[in-house]
């Protein structure tokens, strides 16, 4: 670690550049390769354990995963072969990239149903107390005071903003569509002068919350979820009776449980594919500890054997003893990788003219991709071109105007309660539109007082109360 720190300092000062770049890139490649192998062993076991639990819950994992588990196992087998290079290495990279893209499409489909179910949950929560007796009555004044105390109890501005958004999302919504659309436009205007990508990301979040981003593969991502949502979205909340309400609640619970399982599975698969991708990119350049690699291979091969049986047996207890030699290794490797990652972009930019002459351009290109693959964002776009064009007022107004037109047309097609659900979910994504304590207090009081539907008002108050005590 000390030697690496010295190399980095010298490169930042322009000393021993040629040898320093070679040593730096070699060290980062080695570390990334070892780190991904260790993570792969640990998380591959976790994936199998999650799959076993899903099978116990009656979910056909192989079918639900849509073939991705089989492809993942093949890539793990490839990673366990020593000396991946040449055409085999290039093919492995392509396969990992294809599987990664396939999983991202699958997750977009699952996220769509997450937003769909959030809207249906909002609707059912607002009619719940038509069919069950409310508990002790809430005092609107007391609840308002509790809400204000809840929001201001933390001085961290980001946490306060998140709390305000959560409260606004659960309060009874009594707002004209035109007022809502103006708030959306104003919320986007806050980002004038930021990067265009930031504005685009916010618009995407708004569109997904509003159910405007239905992926092409939504139906194929999971037909069972599609069937459940088809039943829920056709329910007329104004004419619900107790029986149909309870049936809808059971369908929503069933769909939510399945969705949570599938999302957990997909996230684990994505992390594993990212590590496999790193392994294939780094293998031609990496050196490794023979004992450590043998330990990792044994662990991977044992889980592969369990996957291959198809019987979904529990992992043997003595299997976990195999992780003892790896204790603390991941943490040390991550620290070393992070040290390199922190300066990779700086060094790549500083020596961009020299790197090709040293025949290190392909290695630094791979390191840039590895940096993204090992970032906290499992679903990061690997092809991001890095442009940072500014979003001027004209750009924001044009983007906001287009979004406003889409939202207005979309809301007209919805029932009143579903439109309110969508509007509430969108407001949660925006910067708070209430700028002072008094404005917020007035909005809370007005929302509760203007809701004449007793069932909805009590339901909202109950949700807010539970949210504040959790």
Contact assessment for residue 17 and residue 351, using Cβ atoms and an 8 Å cutoff: yes
- Is the model's pLDDT at 389 over the cut of 80? yes
Distances (CA, A) of 47 to 66, 69, 243, 411, 430: 15, 10, 39, 40, 35
Digit-coded pLDDT (tens) for 226-264: 999 999 998 999 889 999 999 999 999 999 999 999 999
The pLDDT score that the predictor gives to residue 221 is 76
Mean pLDDT value of segment 380-387 = 74
Query: Any idea which of 17-26, 59-68, 400-409 has the lowest mean pLDDT?
Result: 59-68
pLDDT at 447 over 80: yes
Q: pTM higher than 0.85 for the full model?
A: yes
SS3 390: strand
**What DSSP assignment string belongs to 27-93?**
HHHHHHHHHHHHHHHHHHHHHHHHHHHHHHTT--HHHHTTTHHHHHHHHHHHHTSS---HHHHHHHH
Tell me what pLDDT residue 385 has: 59
pLDDT, residue 215, reads: 87
Q: For residue 445, which of 174, 163, 126, 155 has the smallest C-alpha distance?
A: 174
pLDDT band at 354 (very low <50, low <70, confident <90, very high): very high
Residue 267 tokens read as 């996230």
Which DSSP state fits 154? Answer: -
Rounded to whole angstroms, how far apart are CA atoms 44 and 62? 15
Reduce the DSSP state of residue 195 to 3 states and report it.
strand
- Tell me if 326 sits within 8 A of 39, measured CB to CB: no
**Can you spell out the DSSP letters for 190-206?**
TTTTSBHHHHHHHHHHH
What pLDDT, on a 0 to 100 scale, did the predictor assign at position 2?
53
| Res 358: pLDDT | 95
Rounded to 10 deg, the angle between the 329-350 and 361-373 helix axes is 130
Query: Which pLDDT does position 154 carry in this prediction?
Result: 84
> How does pLDDT run across 257-291, given as a tens digit for each residue?
999 999 999 999 999 999 999 999 999 998 888 99
Q: What letter does residue 315 receive in the DSSP assignment?
A: P
Q: Is residue 456 over pLDDT 80?
A: yes
- Stretch 6-12: mean pLDDT, rounded? 95
Report phi then psi at 374, rounded to 5: -100, 10
Give the angle 438-439-440 at the CA atoms, nearest 5°: 90
Does 387 score more than 60 pLDDT?
no
Beta-carbon contacts of 456 under 8 Å, excluding residues fewer than 6 positions away, are: 126, 127, 129, 172
Q: What are 51-94's pLDDT values in tens digits?
A: 999 999 999 998 888 889 999 999 999 999 877 778 889 999 99
| Distance from C-alpha of 205 to C-alpha of 429, rounded to nearest angstrom | 7
Q: Which parts of 128-152 fold into alpha helices (H)?
A: 140-152
Residue-wise pLDDT for 203-231, tens only, equals 999 999 999 998 887 777 788 999 999 99
Mean pLDDT score of the chain: 93
Does position 1 have pLDDT exceeding 60, yes or no?
no
* Cα 157 from Cα 162, distance rounded (Å): 9
Q: How much of the chain, in percent, has pLDDT values that exceed 90? A: 83
Q: What is the mean pLDDT of residues 434-459?
A: 91
In this predicted structure, the answer to whether residue 412 has a pLDDT above a threshold of 90 is yes
User: What angle separates helix 86-127 from helix 454-469, to the nearest 10 degrees?
Assistant: 130
Q: Is the pLDDT reported for residue 294 higher than 80?
A: yes
Percent of the chain topping pLDDT 70: 99
Stretch 18-36: mean pLDDT: 96
In whole angstroms, what is the distance from residue 355 CA to residue 78 CA?
31
């Amino acid at each position: 670690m000390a030697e690496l720190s010295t190399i980095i300092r010298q490169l930042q000062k322009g000393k021993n550049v040629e040898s320093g770049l070679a040593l730096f890139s070699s060290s980062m490649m080695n570390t990334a390769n070892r780190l991904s192998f260790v993570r792969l062993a640990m998380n591959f076991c976790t994936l199998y354990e999650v799959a076993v639990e899903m099978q116990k819950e009656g979910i056909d994992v192989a079918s639900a995963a849509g073939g991705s588990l089989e492809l993942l196992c093949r890539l793990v087998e490839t990673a366990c072969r020593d000396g991946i290079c040449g055409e085999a290495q290039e093919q492995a990279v392509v396969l990992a990239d294809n599987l990664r893209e396939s999983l991202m499409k699958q997750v977009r489909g699952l996220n769509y149903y997450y937003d769909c179910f959030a809207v249906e949950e909002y609707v059912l929560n607002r009619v719940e107390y038509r069919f069950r007796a409310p508990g002790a009555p809430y005092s609107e004044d007391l609840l308002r005071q509790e809400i204000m105390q809840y929001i201001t109890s933390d001085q961290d501005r980001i946490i306060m903003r998140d709390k305000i958004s959560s409260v606004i999302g659960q309060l009874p919504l009594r707002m004209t569509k035109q007022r809502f659309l103006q708030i959306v436009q104003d919320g986007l205007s806050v980002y004038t002068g930021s990067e265009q990508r930031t504005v685009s990301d916010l618009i995407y979040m708004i569109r997904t919350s509003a159910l405007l981003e239905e992926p092409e593969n939504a139906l194929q991502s999971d037909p069972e979820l599609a069937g459940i949502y088809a039943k829920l979205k056709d329910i007329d909340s104004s004419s619900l009776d107790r029986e149909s309400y309870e049936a809808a609640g059971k369908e929503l619970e069933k769909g939510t449980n399945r969705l949570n399982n599938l999302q957990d599975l997909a996230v684990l698969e994505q992390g594993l594919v990212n590590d496999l991708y790193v392994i294939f990119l780094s293998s031609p350049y990496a050196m490794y500890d023979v004992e450590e690699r043998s330990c990792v291979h044994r662990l991977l091969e044992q889980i592969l054997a369990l996957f291959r049986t198809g019987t979904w047996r529990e992992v043997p207890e003595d299997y976990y003893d195999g992780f003892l030699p790896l204790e603390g290794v991941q943490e040390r490797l991550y620290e070393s990788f992070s040290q390199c990652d922190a300066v990779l972009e700086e060094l790549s930019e500083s020596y961009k003219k020299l790197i090709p002459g040293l025949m290190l351009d392909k290695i630094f290109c791979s390191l840039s991709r590895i940096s993204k693959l090992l970032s906290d964002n499992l679903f990061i776009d690997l092809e991001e071109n890095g442009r940072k064009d500014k979003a001027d007022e004209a750009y924001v107004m044009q983007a906001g105007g287009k979004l406003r037109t889409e939202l207005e047309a979309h809301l007209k097609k919805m029932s009143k309660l579903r439109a309110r659900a969508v509007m509430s979910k969108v407001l949660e994504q925006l910067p708070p539109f209430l700028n002072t304590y008094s404005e917020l207090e007035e909005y809370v009081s007005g929302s509760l007082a203007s809701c004449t539907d007793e069932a909805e008002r009590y339901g909202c108050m109950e949700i807010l109360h539970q949210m504040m005590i959790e």
